[in-house]
Structures are given as structure tokens and as C-alpha cells.
Structure 1
Amino acid sequence: MGSTYLTVDPVRPGRNRVEDGWSRFAPGIRGEGTTARRAWQSRYVHRTVAFDLLCAVVAAALAHLLWSAWNPPAAADAPLWEVLVLPLLWLPMMLVARTYEKRFLWVGVEEYRRVLDSAVALLAGVGFLSWALDLQIARGFIVLALPCATLLTLFQRFAHRHWLYAQRRQGRYQQTTLLVGHQRAIADLDEQLQRAADKGYRVIGCCLPSNQHSSAADAFHGLPVLGGVDEVAAVVARFEVDTVAVLPSQELDGSALRSLGWELENTSAELLVAPAITAVVGPRVHIRPVAGLPLLHMERPELTGLRQFTKACFDRTAALAGLVFLSPALLAIALAVRASSPGPVFFRQERVGHRGKPFFMIKFRSMVPGAHTMVAELEDDSDGNGVLFKKRDDPRVTRVGKVLRRYSLDELPQLINVVRGEMSLVGPRPPLNSETEAYGVDMRRRFLVKPGLTGLWQVSGRSDLSWDESVRTDVQYVENWSLSFDFMILAKTVKAVMSGSGAY
């Protein structure tokens, strides 16, 4: 497999204010151009097609072997052509479902949904034809082969995508990105893209409104200022930018943004437009025509009703089952805590819960007794985010406590809080009373839902997040809550806990 590393063209003479900034990205390397940087995409599609065909062949062969073993008399009369035809039908169905279009690959869940849709359509088509034409098709073979092909295809696409993510984290398969908008919005988006290196957006510079930069300005937020918002198309052409991300600004209103889109049609750059409501995504946002105009409709968040009742039932049932299943491990941890240092096994601390109601959160004790009285001595050397006190090498933590905190085992007793209805399996982090004093209007929206045993905060970096990032993740969860979102966070929690990233 070929490797494409990000490179950029050197800045032309006379642009010293930009030239120094390029050292952050690719010093002294000759640019490849957009076409060369995107060459990997075609190879990715070709590999996906080959892997899908291989999955169909393996599924057909495996289904035939299993069916033959389970039903030898019927298998003896089964035509072999069914095994050969399935792979030949599988690829056209994937093509019809548009699963090979680059806009659906390597990002989001749309790719997986389309694979499932094509499998269901193929099953329905085979069933209809066998009935209409009275074909003698081995139903047992079809029942085995199609689900097997679907599962194998989904697994290989998932593995293929995460291979790409790993390559991107090493600097391969990147696309150069230009940010356009106001300084604060650019700084926030740049930080998010840097954290999400596996998504492949390498920011190489920005374009600011004329009142926010001058010809003498070197850079902003460590980014070279390549021009003004009215020079975007020229900057794209000059540096062969792959992607332009436009953030909300009064300088780029509807007509200006439309003109920019027309100008970029003469280049190879893709245009991304960030809506003003970036914290609200998913099923709450719909585009509907109103008076002939496509307007963005934002639905109200569903914080009550049947879905919330379903979430509460699932939380309590799963937490109770977890307590029963993990009871041997909980007992072992309790004995280890008791033997490691004098003091109680559990640590109870008052936190602020749903709608601001206080409750006592339960954890395994991971610190020496009286640890809360030592905060004042250590506060000047905090590794926290300015609001939360955190310390990487906290002298208050016991030896057993270090292990418990690294893998979040000290939080398992919070399953009791979930069973009581004080917490949820997934939700914002339960705050201290002292923290809520620093809350603004945005952060107080977290009280609209129950705090969680895990949440976006935990799977996004935990203690490594800044205060602004913590606010963003909590608000994002409240605004976009759904059961499927909870399941995704629970799945990611396993990886976050095993890696121990941001846990101290």
C-alpha cells in the first residue's frame, strides 16, 4: 500500500510573515498538490471492493459447509451455482446502495447503514424472485450466507477505517485545510481538529477579516495568516489547499458564501461550512423547505417522556445486573483498599445532580484519610483546567488507589447511585458544589439530565481536557442525547478505560 505524507508548497518570496509559520507543518518539503494527496482515496475504494468480494466468497463457502453439515440430505441436492452467484450479486447491490462513494467512506455511520440496507434489499429480492419464478433455492443456505456476508463486510470496513485512522495519526493520508472566520471560532476549531488527528484535517493557515489582521501580523493561534476573507480563493489556488472550512461570520453572509462556492469550483478544494449551532447535531437538525427556501430546523431536545423513561429503566436494570456480575471483583477491590491504608473502604462525597439536587456519590477510597484537607497545600501546583483541581502525581493517592484511578475501578460503586436513580450510566460528570459557582448559563444546562458514570468527558480525554472543552462536551451531550448515543459512549468507554488516557 502506498503512503501519502502531507507536504506543502514553500511560500514565495515576499511573504515572510507566512513563511515562518510553515515550519509547524512541513518545513522544507516540496508540495505534492491536491491530486497527489488524494490519490490514496481511489486505492482505498479499490481495496474496499476487493475486501467486500472476499467477504462474500468466504460467507458463501462457510454457509455451504455449515448447511451441508447440518442438513446432509438437502445439501446433496443443492446446486453449487448458489455459492457462486452470491458473490456476484453482493458487489452490484453494494454499488446500487452507493457504499463505494467517497463521501460515505471512512467517516460517520452512513457507510454501515448502507451496507445493511443493501443486505436487506438483496434478501428481499432473492425471496421475491424465488417465489415469483418458483426457483428451487436452498433457503437454509440463504439464511446463513447473507447474515454472514453482512457481518464480515461490516467488520472489514470497520477494520479498514481504523487502519486509515492509525495511518493518519502518523501523518499519512492528510488533507490540507484552510480555516476562514473570526479569531475565536478559528482557535476553537483548530484545537478540535488537532485532537481529532485521525480525521485527516491538517490545518495549514487561516484567513481573517481585515479588521482582525494586518500585513505585519505573523500568525494567529500559531497559524499563518494567509490573507483576508476576501482572498480565500486566491489562497486556495496559491497553496493548492484541499479543504476550506468556513466558520460563521458577518463577512461571509449568504451571498458572499455563495460567491465563494462559485470561485472554488475552479479549484480542487472542498468547501465545508460550519453552522452557528455546531453543538447541536444528529436527529435534532433537519433541512426543510419553507417558502421555497431550505431552512435549518432545530427540534427541541427530548429530556422527558417515553425515551427518558426507557433510559431510566435501562440504566437501573443494567446497573443492578452489573453489581451482581461484578460482585466478586467489587469484594476483591474492597479488601485491597482496606489492606492498603487505614480508613473506610468507600468514599462518599456530595455532588450536584439532576436539576441541581445534591446527592452523595459513592466511590472506592483511593486516597489517604483526610485528603480533602490537603487541597489548599497543593492547589498552587495543580495540573487541572483552572476550575477542577487535578494533580498527575498526587501524593494523597495510595498505591492501590493509583491502579484504581488509572482504570476507573474506583468509580464502580457508582452503580449503586444509578440503581437509586441519582445517576445514569451515561451523562455529564457529576460536579462539586464549589465547581458550580464558576458555571455560566451554558454549563448549567448539564443539570437538565442526570450525571453519568461515564460520558463524553471520559471518552474525550478526561482530566486532559481544558475547562472550555469540558463545557463543550457536556453541553453537546445534553443537546444531542439519545439511546444510540449512549450505547456509542459506553462502547468507547471500554477503550478509554483500558488505555488509561487522562486518568489521574
Structure 2
Amino acid sequence: MGDTGTYGVRAARLTGVRAAVPGHRHTAAAGRRAKPRWYLPAVLGVDAGVTAASAALVLSRTGQPHPGLSALVAMATWVAVRALRHRYRQDELGESRGALPVLHDWLILVAALAVLSVATAQTPEPYPALAALAPGLVCTLVCRRWIHRHLTSARRVAQAVDRVLVVGEPGVLDAAVQRLASRTDHPYAVVGTVVIGTGTAGAAAAPTGTGDRLDPELDGRGAGHRVVDAARRHHAELVLLAPGARLTGDRLRELCWALHDAGLDVALTPGLVETSVKRLAATSVAGLTVLRVEPPLGRGAQAALKTAVDRCGAALGLLLLAPVLLLLVVSIRLDSPGPALYRQVRVGRDQEAFTMWKFRSMVTDADRRKEDLAARNECDGLMFKMRRDPRVTRVGRFLRRTSLDELPQLVNVLKGDMSLVGPRPPLPDEVAAYDATALRRLRVRPGMTGLWQVSGRSDLSWDETIQLDLQYVDNWSFSSDLDVMSRTLRAVVDGRGAY
């Protein structure tokens, strides 16, 4: 997460960018989001090279027919699938680190090669064939994440970004600018503002310290010329419109005409925050553009699938991990006196209390000693967290670092009190202090892992934790659960924020 100070440095670094030639769209767009040129060769090289090499090696070692030709076909098909799904476009490279799009591409590859093998009567054995294609999937995922991290780092110092001029009334304009200033992992860098009407808020919002003024009485044509002039002076490549009472209907349309005629791109913010684009649908009613917002998923096939995966996954996990669980029980009992398991009342879906199980990572009187340590709380919200909590045992530090203390919660998942993925289960005293916004996080079952756990855990502020939980609640889908689970392993290995 970035802050306003970082964003100010980001805007300041843009002052030396050369202005676009007015009136020439292609010239103006040439320098936008100038991502490093090696992104595309790197992605293509990994996709083609790893797939061809692994297929040739595995198929030849397992005695499959025509390993060289099969490797070339697999490589060409993989690159074609990725190209048809626009993975090599400049505006797509590095923009996402999620695993699901790559998995979708890989499944299409497997299906396409299966059809091709049947059509040509050259059917290799299934297990060697899958083993030959698996390295390509893994390396593509690693490359995708690596480039995403590189692009995110570059954008913190104003590289590969759009120079954006924000236009709107003081209230809505400030909200948009502050939202953009709160993070630096996106491609919008605000280089100036145009405030419609009077007020002082817009000047404070501008990264340069001053905002242009636009007389609200100007007609659409006059306002368009003023905004175009401001965009050229700030060398902006995109104008972000934040509509309000004075910027609607025909006036908004005329402003878009003027900006497009000048070769500038236009974006519109409807004021929604943390709402997935999958829930939005644009339509037109009586000439009025309407943005329909679908309600969060709560029932239906995806919810039933989530419940089935939770129960089956928990049962399978308890069965497979039984030796590990037994070993941890013995280690905890030998390390410090007291039971190996620790139970605690937590609040679940719809504010229903339940007993949550964990491996004991603290001394037995930890709850009684919590009040004595209240002044040393390192969390800025309702949670209690200490980086070096004296109540944690030696084995407990290892358990927390590796998240193994959470494994008994598989019993809670099997019972239906928790889910594999969901918000952190809060304590009753925390819930008692919740406001209406924070209470919304209890609309779903809490989870063993979630966006909070894979985004920094205890290193996050209280507001960031609530924001991530609400983002999950409002935008949940079964595919998002799969994405969180795929990121959980890396978070556990990294251990950041686990204490």
C-alpha cells in the first residue's frame, strides 16, 4: 500500500516527461505506460522455451512417439492459446499476478492437444503428456508474478504510468484524488486537477499544490476548451472525469467530444469503491447510460460448491495430516506444561459464536496476562498484536511463523463453523466495538486463510484489514477462493506479518 507522501514523489518525478504533440492521438499515446521492452520477450521465451524443452525431454525419456514434433506442436499451441487470450498485449503484461487466468489457459491447451492427438491418431500416454506440460504452467506462473512485482516497483517511482488530469467538483474530485493517492500499484499518476466551481478542497488535492478553476457557468464548448488547455499544460494523456451536480448529461457529453477531438483519452469514475468489475454491467435506458451493480454472491451453485470443497478439503486434510498433527501435539506437550490444543470463543457468520480450535502457541495463562500487555499493543485497531509477545512459547514461535497452529481449525471447517477461505474470525470483545461497516465482514463464514492472511497479516493496519475483508465479502466468487488458496502457500513460506 502506498501513501500520500509516496504519491507526491511519484507525481514530482513526472514533471520531466516530454509533452505530447497536441491533436495527434498516436503521438500522444506512444509514451503511455512505457513498460520495459523486455517484458514481452521474457514472457514469450518462458512460454515457448520451457514448454518445448520439457515436452521434448519428458516424451523422449518415456518412449513416446515423435517427441520432437510433439514438443513443437505443444509449444505452438501454448503460444497460440496465450496470444488468442490477449496475454501478450502491452496493456496486459504485468497487470495481474493471479494464477487462475494461467490455469484457464493451460486447461485449454490440454483440451486442444487432446483433440489434436485423437484427430491425428497419435495419442501419447496421459500421465507422461501431463508431466511434459506441467513445467510450462509452473514457469509461466513464476514469470507472471515476477513481472508483476517488477511493474509494481516501477510504478512506485512513476514509471509505466498514465499522466492523468482529474476534473470535477471539489467534493467528488478530492475523493477520487485521495483514493488514487492511497495506492501506487495502479497506472494512474495525477499531474493536475480542474475544479468546477469555487472552494478550497480541490487546490489541496492537486499534486502540484494548485488546481485549475473552471467557471460552472461556462457552456460545454467553452468548458471543453479550458480542460483541453489544462491537459496540454500538464502534459496529461488521460482525463479522469468525476461527475457531480454541475457535470452531468449534455454537458458531460460535450466535454467528452472536446477531449476526444483533441486526441485525449477520457475515463469516468462513478464513485464506486472496492467493487469488482465482474459485478458491473453497462446498459442504455432511454439514452441514459446505466451502470448496473449485481448483488454479492451468497447463494446458488458457487456457494454450494464452496461448501462441498470446504467439507471435503477439511476431511481430506485431517486424514493426510494426521501424522503431522500427532507430531505437533507431542512437541507442544514436551515444550511447555499444559494441553496441546487451545480453544477460544470466536464470532462467525451472522454474529453466531462458536468454539475455534488451535494448537497452543502461548503459555496457559496467556489470556489473564493480556490486560497487563495492553499498553504494548502494536495494532492500531481492535486486534491485539505484539511482534515479540512474551507469552509465546518456543514451539509456539515456530507454529505461528509457519501457520501450523491453525491446522486444528480444519475441524471447525468440517463442522461448518468456518470455511477454508474467508475473513479472520474475530473475538467477541472486538465485535462489540464494531461499527456498521465492520459488522458487514460477518456476512460470510470466517476462514482459515483469506485476503488478510495473504496480504501481510499482522503488518496491516486495522483499516487495511477491514478493507480487505469487505472486498472479499462484496466480491466473492469461487474463483477468487481458488486464487487466495494459491497465494496462501507463498504467504506461509514468506512468513511476513506472522507473529
- TM bracket (short chain): 0.7 to 0.9
Question: What corresponds to 1:459 in structure 2?
Answer: 454
Instruction: Give yes or no for the alignment of 1:166 onto 2:149.
Output: yes
Cα 1:190–1:29, aligned 2, differ >3 Å: closer, same or farther?
A: closer
Question: What corresponds to 1:105 in structure 2?
Answer: 93
Question: What corresponds to 2:169 in structure 1?
Answer: none
Aligned partners of 1:406 and 1:503 also within 8 Å: yes
Question: What corresponds to 1:493 in structure 2?
Answer: 488
Gaps of 5+ in 2: 1-5, 20-28, 167-171, 215-225
User: Which stretch of the first structure deviates more once superposed, 200-209 or 471-480?
Assistant: 200-209
Instruction: Give yes or no for the alignment of 1:407 onto 2:399.
Output: no
**Alignment partner of 1:40: what SS?**
coil
Aligned partners of 2:358 and 2:407 also within 8 Å: yes
> For the residues of structure 1 that align with 2:132 and 2:303, how far apart are their CA atoms?
36
Aligned partners of 1:60 and 1:145 also within 8 Å: no
Cα 1:502–1:224, aligned 2, differ >3 Å: closer, same or farther?
A: farther
Cα 1:62–1:427, aligned 2, differ >3 Å: closer, same or farther?
A: same
Give the deviation of 1:424 after TM superposition: 0.8
> For the residues of structure 1 that align with 2:393 and 2:400, how far apart are their CA atoms?
10
Q: What does the per-residue CA deviation read over 1:307-362, in whole Å, with 9 as the maximum and x for residues that have no partner?
A: 32322221122112212222232233333333333333222221111211111111
Instruction: Give yes or no for the alignment of 1:213 onto 2:200.
Output: yes
What code does the residue aligned with 2:446 have? Answer: P
Give the deviation of 1:374 after TM superposition: 3.2
How many equivalent residue pairs? 465
Aligned partners of 2:191 and 2:207 also within 8 Å: yes
**Alignment partner of 1:392: what SS?**
coil
Cα 1:364–1:118, aligned 2, differ >3 Å: closer, same or farther?
A: closer
Give the deviation of 1:465 after TM superposition: 2.6
> For the residues of structure 1 that align with 2:161 and 2:211, how far apart are their CA atoms?
20
Q: What does the per-residue CA deviation read over 1:52-103, in whole Å, with 9 as the maximum and x for residues that have no partner?
A: 5545654774587368x235xxx5xx9x878767766776666555443333
Question: What corresponds to 2:178 in structure 1?
Answer: 187
What code does the residue aligned with 1:186 have? Answer: V
Aligned partners of 2:382 and 2:462 also within 8 Å: yes
**Alignment partner of 1:171: what SS?**
helix
Aligned partners of 1:367 and 1:398 also within 8 Å: yes
Aligned partners of 1:427 and 1:451 also within 8 Å: yes
Aligned partners of 2:53 and 2:71 also within 8 Å: no
Pairing partner for 1:70 from 55, 64, 71: 64
User: Which stretch of the first structure deviates more once superposed, 26-35 or 493-502?
Assistant: 26-35
How big is the alpha-carbon RMSD for the aligned residues of Structure 1 and Structure 2? Answer: 4.2
Greater relative contact order (Cα 8 A, min sep 6): structure 1 or 2?
2
Q: What does the per-residue CA deviation read over 1:211-240, in whole Å, with 9 as the maximum and x for residues that have no partner?
A: 55369x5x45x9444425857654543343
What code does the residue aligned with 2:149 have? Answer: A
Q: Trace 1:35-184 onto structure 2 (pairs within 5 A).
A: 35-36=30-31, 38-40=33-35, 43-49=38-44, 51-54=46-49, 57-58=52-53, 61=56, 65=60, 69-71=63-65, 95=83, 98-108=86-96, 112=102, 115=105, 119=109, 137=120, 139-140=122-123, 155=138, 157-171=140-154, 173-178=159-164, 180=166, 181-184=172-175
Aligned partners of 1:229 and 1:251 also within 8 Å: no
**Alignment partner of 1:321: what SS?**
helix
Aligned partners of 1:446 and 1:478 also within 8 Å: yes
Cα 1:52–1:320, aligned 2, differ >3 Å: closer, same or farther?
A: closer
Give the deviation of 1:479 after TM superposition: 1.8
What code does the residue aligned with 1:106 have? Answer: G
**Alignment partner of 2:429: what SS?**
helix
Q: Trace 1:391-406 onto structure 2 (pairs within 5 A).
A: 391-406=386-401
Q: TM-score, normalised by structure 2?
A: 0.76
Pairing partner for 1:31 from 17, 21, 38: 17
Aligned partners of 1:175 and 1:243 also within 8 Å: no
Pairing partner for 1:381 from 353, 370, 376: 376
Question: What corresponds to 1:359 in structure 2?
Answer: 354
Question: What corresponds to 2:340 in structure 1?
Answer: 345
Aligned partners of 1:94 and 1:118 also within 8 Å: no
Question: What corresponds to 1:429 in structure 2?
Answer: 424
Aligned partners of 2:165 and 2:231 also within 8 Å: no
Q: What does the per-residue CA deviation read over 1:236-284, in whole Å, with 9 as the maximum and x for residues that have no partner?
A: 4334345555556545545555455445446776544444333331543
Give the deviation of 1:470 after TM superposition: 2.3
> For the residues of structure 1 that align with 2:321 and 2:14, how far apart are their CA atoms?
56
Q: Trace 1:459-478 onto structure 2 (pairs within 5 A).
A: 459-478=454-473
Aligned partners of 1:119 and 1:146 also within 8 Å: no
Question: What corresponds to 2:24 in structure 1?
Answer: none
What code does the residue aligned with 1:100 have? Answer: Y
Give the deviation of 1:451 after TM superposition: 1.0
Aligned partners of 1:243 and 1:272 also within 8 Å: yes
Give the deviation of 1:419 after TM superposition: 1.3
Q: TM-score, normalised by structure 1?
A: 0.75
